[in-house]
Amino acid sequence: MNKPVDKLFENNKLVDPFNRQITYLRLSVTDRCDLRCTYCMSEKMTFLNKKEVLTFEEMYKLCRGFIKVGIKKIRITGGEPLVRKGIMDLFSMLKPHLSYDLNELTLTTNGTQLSRYAKQLYSNGVRRINVSLDTLDPMKFKLITRVGKLQDVLSGIDAARDANLKIKINCVALKNINENEIDNFINWCVEKDFDLTFIETMPMGDIGNENRLNHFLSLDQLKKSLTSKYKLRDISLSTGGPARYSRIEGSNIKLGFITPLSHNFCSSCNRVRIDATGVLHQCLGQSNSLDFRKILRDPFSTDEDLLENIKNSVKQKPEKHSFAYDFSKANIKGQINRHMSLTGG
Give the range of 13-21, 35-43, 115-123, 193-201 binding ligand SF4 by CB under 6 A: 35-43
Provide the Cα torsion 206, 109, 196, 201; round to 10°.
0
Does 130 interact with ligand SF4 (rule: CB under 6 A)?
Answer: no
Does 173 interact with ligand SF4 (rule: CB under 6 A)?
Answer: no
Q: How far is the CB of 200 from ligand SAM (least distance, A)?
A: 7
Whole-angstrom CA distances from 314 to 17, 54, 77, 94, 186 are 8, 21, 20, 23, 37
Q: How far is the CB of 179 from ligand SAM (least distance, A)?
A: 15
Give the range of 54-62, 68-76, 104-112, 317-325 binding ligand SAM by CB under 6 A: 104-112
Give the C-alpha separation, 17 to 12, whole Å: 16
Give the range of 48-56, 93-101, 121-129, 337-345 binding ligand SAM by CB under 6 A: 337-345
Task: Residue 344: name its binding partner from ligand SF4, ligand SAM, none (Cβ under 5 to 8 Å by kind).
Answer: ligand SAM
Q: Interface mask (CB under 6 A) for ligand SF4, residues 108-127, using x and -?
A: --x-----------------
Give the range of 36-44, 61-69, 174-182, 271-279 binding ligand SF4 by CB under 6 A: 36-44
75 sits in which H/E element: strand 73-77
Does 148 interact with ligand SAM (rule: CB under 6 A)?
Answer: no
**Exposed e or buried b for every residue in 205-243, given b needs 16+ CB within 10 A?**
bebeebebeebbbbbeebbeebeeebeeeeeeeeebebb
Q: Which of residues 46-65 bind ligand SF4 (CB under 6 A)?
A: none
Does 276 interact with ligand SF4 (rule: CB under 6 A)?
Answer: no
Is the Cβ–Cβ distance between 256 and 232 less than 8 Å? no
Among 40, 62, 150, 258, binds ligand SF4 (CB under 6 A): 40
Q: How far is the CB of 252 from ligand SAM (least distance, A)?
A: 22
Does 110 interact with ligand SAM (rule: CB under 6 A)?
Answer: yes
Q: Which of residues 196-225 bind ligand SAM (CB under 6 A)?
A: 199, 201-202, 204
Amino acid (one-letter) located at 316: Q
Residue 225, SS3 per DSSP: helix
Per-residue three-class SS string for 104-123:
EEEEEECCCCHHHHHHHHHH
Q: How far is the CB of 78 from ligand SF4 (least distance, A)?
A: 6
**Exposed e or buried b for every residue in 95-113, given b needs 16+ CB within 10 A?**
bebbeeebeebbbbbbbbb
Chain contacts with ligand SF4 (rule: CB under 6 A)? 33, 35-37, 40-41, 78-80, 110, 132, 341
